[in-house]
Amino acid sequence: MDNKSKQIGLIGLGVMGKPMGKNLLKGGFSLTVFDIKPEPVAELAALGAKTASSPAEVAAKCDIIITMLPNSPHVEAVVCGANGILEGIRPGSIYIDMSSISPVLDKKLYEIMAEKGVEMLDAPVSGGEPKAKDGTMSIMVGGKKEVFDSVFDVFKAMGDAVTLVGDIGSGNTCKLANQIMVALHLAAVSEAMVFAEKAGVDPEKVYQAIRGGLAGSTVLDAKMPMILDRNFKPGGPIWMHTKDLLNVRDAALAIDAPIPLTTQVLEAFKACKCDGHVNDDHCGVIQYWEKLANVKVERRK
């Protein structure tokens, strides 16, 4: 379906939301935006977006409303709070939450939207700021297939791999599973490379030796050069990944799922936050292991 004749609303123009909005505009969609910060709103307005004064106004003006917000409390407040989406949304609209939040909240909001005659999808993303900018994010979607199909072109303007995972909440369940695997990969890379450094072996040569074998991974290839260069400029910051792992913990508790390894890695992320690395890229979690071993993993001179 071609949605370019419809008005799309985007609420949340942060690290991910702003480039997503730019890609929607590049894709030829009509866009109305809102954020509590005026700067990104002005930036998108200069590119052709319309602006709104509240989430309620976005919902009242738009056929498809997207939220991209930091965490569950922010999404719930924007949807259910004063001047929130529920105050303006019209029956027949589609609400898409692309935030990384708890699947439990997804299901609650789905029921609320259904009472308003509104369809909902949860559609969190993976790939960080770089892929948000170039429009190649992975988008994991939960909800009805017919609703997913009806907005597929909207998703494709922002992402490369777009997958319907299952019913509502499945998107965020998939995203949390992704975050478990990325966090554990980062922990494994950190522990292995600190081990190599402590043993006096060049970690860059260890990386080159193992990257083509079974231990090789996308995470290793994406993050090991950053670690060697001590480049912790965030694509996905430690605070954000910590938030996701806390959502994993809460969701796992609700369904009695065992997460012993995730729980341990969560503590490493929390320690990094407390140690002043809250805004470092999540590969900066290696600094937890480096501090324990009193070494630094970096390129040899």
Looking at 134, 168, 202, the residue that finishes a domain is 168
Quick one: 249 and 130 in the same domain?
no
Q: What is the pTM of this model?
A: 0.89
- In the chain, DSSP finds a helix count (H) and a strand count (E) of 15, 9
Quick one: 56 and 31 in the same domain?
yes
Q: What are phi and psi of 138, to 5 degrees?
A: -90, 130
3-class secondary structure, 7: strand
**pLDDT-flagged residues of the chain (< 50):** none
Residue 93, domain member (yes or no):
yes
**Domain count of the fold of the chain:** 2
Looking at 145, 168, 191, the residue that finishes a domain is 168
Looking at 128, 147, 168, the residue that finishes a domain is 168
Residue 258, domain member (yes or no):
yes
Cross-strand pairs, 125 = 139
175 is catalytic: yes
Predicted local confidence at residue 1, as pLDDT: 64
C-alpha closest to that of 244 among 234, 236, 232: 236
Hey, how many other C-beta atoms are within 10 angstroms of the C-beta on 216?
Answer: 12
Quick one: 230 and 257 in the same domain?
yes
CATH number (domain holding residue 27):
3.40.50.720
Catalytic residue among 18, 175, 223, 243: 175
d(C-alpha 119, C-alpha 157), whole Å = 20
Which range of residues forms the domain containing residue 272? 174-293
CATH number (domain holding residue 189):
1.10.1040.10
Residue 49, domain member (yes or no):
yes
